[in-house]
Amino acid sequence: PHFMIELPNKDDALCFNINDKPGTIFTLVKDTKSGILVNGQIIGDKQIPADGKIYTYFWRFGIIHRNLGVKMEVSTNGISVFQDDSRLKLRWSNTTSIKGDGMDILLTKDRSLTVTLKDSVKFVILLHKVWKKHPYHRDYLGFYTLDTHLLSPSVHGLLGQFYHGIEYTVSNLRPGEVPEKPDATMHVKGRELNVTRGWQRDFRSDVKNGENVPCWFIHRNGTGLIDGEASDYIVSGLF
């Protein structure tokens, strides 16, 4: 999957890919102060394609809001919401709007799930439906955070660590391997990284084709940009 950090104040964006063995679970957001946790599990293609590359995608997210007593499991198969003692199951094949205690849910049939958790976070999970008989690909999910300003400064995770901004500069622009994608040197967190100008796709407005977002691509699973290594974010369970 590709990660994207959009920084409108800089009119710029950063992006990186993280891949691992299918089944791996990563922590995307963790804020112990507000009690929010978002973990995601990746899945691989049905078989290894002709080019030999293993592509992985998120197919299941586990979300917890401890203070509200909310637990959600969102997968390509369906959505389960647990709050206190009650449990709610939703199917991607329905359009539903639910206004709950501290939580609003808007499910758009076969497309997106928008969740607003009171005084903490608003996010959208997109469902990418793939032709069932596709030889390689399966359905997968995208996770987009829309409003995070209420999370605490200590929020972390593969996405969460960027919620309060990141300082960097880019210099030494030079031709890259591909003419349209020049390379440059990024100075970030006291390191110098070789980065490449490219695009990644944002699927919110057009879930099928997406929209290209120009970004600085950080190689090797975002090493140097993220705190530690991608493997540091691996956890054993969805919750």
138 class by beta-carbon count within 10 Å (0-12 exposed, 13-18 middle, 19+ buried): middle
Interface with other proteins includes 168 (CB under 8 A)?
no
CA angle in degrees (0–180, nearest 5) for 140-142-143: 140
- CB 104, min distance to other proteins, A: 6
In the complex with other proteins, which residue's Cβ is closer, 64 or 151?
Answer: 151
Among 99, 134, 189, 191, binds other proteins (CB under 8 A): 99
3-class SS of residue 179: coil
Interface with other proteins includes 229 (CB under 8 A)?
no
- CB 224, min distance to other proteins, A: 18
Unique residue bearing structure tokens 């540091």: 232
Interface with other proteins includes 2 (CB under 8 A)?
yes
Interface with other proteins includes 231 (CB under 8 A)?
no
- CB 73, min distance to other proteins, A: 17
CA angle in degrees (0–180, nearest 5) for 138-233-18: 45
Neighbours of 32 (CB within 10 A): 12
- CB 84, min distance to other proteins, A: 15
Neighbours of 31 (CB within 10 A): 24
Among 92, 143, 168, 233, binds other proteins (CB under 8 A): 143
Interface with other proteins includes 121 (CB under 8 A)?
no
